[in-house]
Amino acid sequence: MHMLNELAHLGLTIALALALLGTVIPLVGAQLNRLSWMQLAPVFSVLQFLLVAFSFSVLIQAFIKSDFSLRVVLLNSHTLKPLIYKIAGVWGNHEGSLLLWVLILTLFAACAAWFAKNLPLRLLARVLGVQSAISATFLSFLLFTSNPFSRVDFPPFNGQGLNPLLQDPGLAFHPPFLYLGYVGLSVTFSFAIAALLEGKVDAAWARWVRPWTLSAWVFLTVGIGLGSWWAYYELGWGGFWFWDPVENASLMPWLISVALLHSAIVVEKRDALKAWTILLAILAFGFSLIGTFIVRSGVLTSVHAFANDPERGVFILLILTIFVGGSLLLFAFRAGSMESNGVFSTISRESALVVNNLLLVVSCFVVFVGTVWPLIAELISDRKLSVGPPFFNIAFTPLIIGLAVILPIGSTLPWKRATRRHLIKLWPLIILCFASVGLIWAIQTGRSLLGPIGMGLGVWLILGVLVELYQRAGKGHSKFLRILRLPLADWGKATAHAGLGITICGVAGLTAWQVEDIRIMKVGERFNIAGFSLVLDSVEKFTGPNYFTTMATVKLLREDQLVSVLYPERRYYPVAEVPTTEAGIDSALLRDVYVVVGEAQPEGGYAVRTFIKPLANWIWAGAIFMGFGGLLSLLDRRYRVAHSIRNQRKEVEF
């Protein structure tokens, strides 16, 4: 095992050398028009991936076999941990998660080499050259400040264990999906830099970029959804979003990637917004790097933060400055060559997409300012300040409301020029939405307007999707058959927009109509809440694989009929000396019953916290719909067909 560890470390070193060569040779070859040099770009990319994949597999094996001679295994694993959490421990720390980041980075570069062979060779060489530059930078960071194969001179018999909060199936898969999203945006960034170097952006470029952006967005959507779901059922506080700095770090590139997807459509369809699309591609990856800085530098406090090491923070800040600062400088010099020929009127689909983009970008920068303001304030005034949920809710919510309002309008307008007649067609939708708001308001008179307004927006989005599908089917008979035969990309777009509407309904319902109860209960006691009855049937102690637990049995009844039996827990992990909460949840289509049982009270009984959460599952159902919509679009044949330019290679000289 020791020999494998050394070989894995050597593999990372060789991968760094290949990344440096893969940066210089293809980029110089593209500049000098050298065919043989450019043809080496895919070779360098694939070799980097194979070497990093070997090193990552060795680290996984070290965790599985509890090889405590490696410092990272010693600090983040234990012999009593279940196998799935031993594997999750690989990326449940700074060094291992950074190696996973580099693995995915080289994987995307290798995929670009495998699946983009019909790209113009000069463009492909530049894309892979920029990818290799990113890989070289992160491999340097890994080897010089965060070596996952650092050894311990005298290894103990057991390790210190993984953070108990991370010992959960949701958290086992949440980081890899997020990293696939973060790093997937690096390919879009590489395409943008390659386009700036070539001075050319056209419809073909937009078609090549969109699948990479879409795949990154799908992974980000799934990763954010998994993280939100985990926070909901694992942390015991019953919320789905806390505006934690690391939550914000994942939201920012998600917002920019949504803007980029819509902007690339305008480039492809209308030959407009070229420079803006390039800028969004740079910003999307830039915010991914900012998220990395937030997580690993320790400058902002977060339950997710892995590292509190100034040296690492400075290194990441240097990476951020080089790539974002350098690319923005290049953009400033070359953006003038990105002339857009598309012309459109004020009332048109293009204009709606521009408004869509502006709202998304402004909302991203609102989140960014709220996230980094405590750091800036501390530097200026030497006082610790915090920006909490009230700021984000007040500043962010109106922008999302505006986005939800404009989305169906833009989707139903024609390209280039629309008339008032097109807007009049939307009046039935508006009437239906106001009717739904009025109905909901009548049902819950006397409460906040947030619920009805949110539900109205959700209905507006979903009805907008139906109207767009109806329009796409054209005139005449057999509309239903034509709708079914629409391209997968159209169905994907409709599903994703409907998913956003479902999520907005869920957020509005949970936020506006949640009912909460906190009380001390003794075994056998019963209480009523929102039409339900709960009975604390028993409280028992058990021993888990690597924890002790106090498990309650709570019966949920409605009209004296048993609905469900819930088993909330209070776990204690002796190795880490950390307690955790496991909520008992009964889920249904229109509500969740959410029960948390606390520690025993001195006067007898247990603290029991109960929530009735209307439409809670709609939040994650919407995320599933959005991710599935992106997947449907990726499966569209038009995304998978390469757009080759055969004459390009004839122009290349040896």
DSSP assignment of 474-518 equals: -SSS-HHHHHHTS-HHHHHHHHHHHHHHHHHHHHHHHHHH-EEEE
Model confidence at 534, in pLDDT bands (50, 70, 90)? very high
Model confidence at 643, in pLDDT bands (50, 70, 90)? very low
Amino acid at 123: L
Q: What is the DSSP letter of 70?
A: B
Q: How far is CA 276 from the centre of its chain?
A: 22
Q: 534 vs 486, which has greater pLDDT?
A: 534
Q: Per-residue pLDDT averaged across 636-648, rounded?
A: 52
Per DSSP (E only), the strands in 104-243 are: none
Q: Please list the residues that pair with 585 across neighbouring strands.
A: 594
Res 645 pLDDT > 50: no
Q: Which residues of 232-253 are buried (b: 16+ CB within 10 A; e: fewer)?
A: bbbbbebbbbbbbbbbbbbbbb
- SS3 category, 339: coil
Per-domain residue ranges of the chain = 1-167, 515-616
Q: 335 vs 357, which has greater pLDDT?
A: 357
pLDDT per residue over 478-496, tens digit each? 777 888 888 899 899 999 9
Model confidence at 39, in pLDDT bands (50, 70, 90)? very high
Tell me the whole-structure pTM to 2 decimals: 0.90
Res 650 pLDDT > 50: no
Contacts of 525 (CB under 8 A, 6+ apart): 535, 536, 605
Contacts of 449 (CB under 8 A, 6+ apart): 441
| 11, 50, 104, 316, 458 from 56: Cα distances, Å | 10, 10, 11, 21, 43
604: left (phi over 0), alpha (psi -120 to 50) or beta: left
Cα gap 570→586, rounded to integer Å:
18
Q: Per-residue pLDDT averaged across 546-559, rounded?
A: 92
Alpha helices by DSSP H, 382-449: 389-412, 420-424, 427-443
CA angle 62, 67, 69 (to 5 degrees): 120
Cα gap 382→371, rounded to integer Å:
17
- Residue 181: CB atoms within 10 Å: 25
Model confidence at 216, in pLDDT bands (50, 70, 90)? very high
Percent of all residues in the chain with a pLDDT value above 90, rounded to a whole number: 50
Q: 467 vs 369, which has greater pLDDT?
A: 369
pLDDT per residue over 81-123, tens digit each? 788 888 888 888 889 989 999 999 999 999 999 887 778 999 9
Which of 178-192, 368-382, 577-591, 613-627 shows the lowest per-residue confidence on average (mean pLDDT)? Answer: 368-382
State the pLDDT at residue 310: 62
**Is there a contact between 41 and 124 (Cβ–Cβ < 8 Å)?**
yes
Q: Per-residue pLDDT averaged across 242-260, rounded?
A: 92
State the pLDDT at residue 654: 26
Model confidence at 20, in pLDDT bands (50, 70, 90)? very high
Q: 20 vs 159, which has greater pLDDT?
A: 20
Res 554 pLDDT > 80: yes
**Is there a contact between 196 and 615 (Cβ–Cβ < 8 Å)?**
no
Q: How far is CA 278 from the centre of its chain?
A: 21
State the pLDDT at residue 25: 96
